[in-house]
Amino acid sequence: MENPIFKTTKKGKKVRILRPWELKALINAIPKPEYKDKFEAMLYTGARFSEIKRVYKHKNWFQGTAIQLPNYKKSSFTERFIRLNPQGQRAITYFYRCKTNLPSYSTWDENLQRWAEKAKIGNEGICIKTTRKTWESWLVTCYPKNLEQIFLSQGHTQMVALKFYLMLPFSEQDKQDMKFYTDGWI
């Protein structure tokens, strides 16, 4: 088993970047299908927690192959299109079938911690930002020639993305396994 990968946020908090085998174990540890649907919507969009909660309330933002996010006070972009691969399209469709939106920030964070322990991957660095940072890291690894499209879809400037998402120590097996999840994004 390889060492966990962490990235440090601007505020100094360690955030776990999942390897494919860890992601699979975590998804398998999530007890209810509706929770899995919410988790996968967070993963395959790479959206911020507040963004995905807004997406749930606005089904018209989902346009099949993308989600159109209008300008929001926390964003530096006037609007953003989150590109979705076929798995992301499925995840958003299932997310909209959920009876309720995501719970509070703290409750979702606690759920992630509990599921990580149940999955036996350890919960150090597992937090709400894990899905977003994992997804962008995987996209950058799988599509290095499409960095600008990835950064724009994720709502990052090139400087932020270069600082946080390049040069991660994924093994060749990790890279091969990521393709199952990222296939069709471009």
| Segment 61-74, tens digit of pLDDT | 999 999 999 876 55
Q: Is the pLDDT of residue 30 over 70?
A: yes
Q: How many CA atoms lie less than 13 Å away from 60 in the CB half-sphere?
A: 1
Spell out the domains of the chain, with CATH numbers in brackets. Answer: 5-174 (1.10.443.10)
What mean pLDDT comes out for the span 63-86? 83
Compute the Cα dihedral for 109, 110, 111, 116 and give only its sign.
Answer: positive
User: Which of the residue ranges 43-57, 60-74, 151-165 has the most confident prediction, judged by mean pLDDT?
Assistant: 43-57
Residue 148: the pLDDT is 87
- pLDDT category of residue 84 using cuts at 50, 70 and 90: very high
Q: Is the pLDDT of residue 161 over 70?
A: no
Summarised one tens digit per residue, pLDDT across range 16-25 is: 999 999 999 9
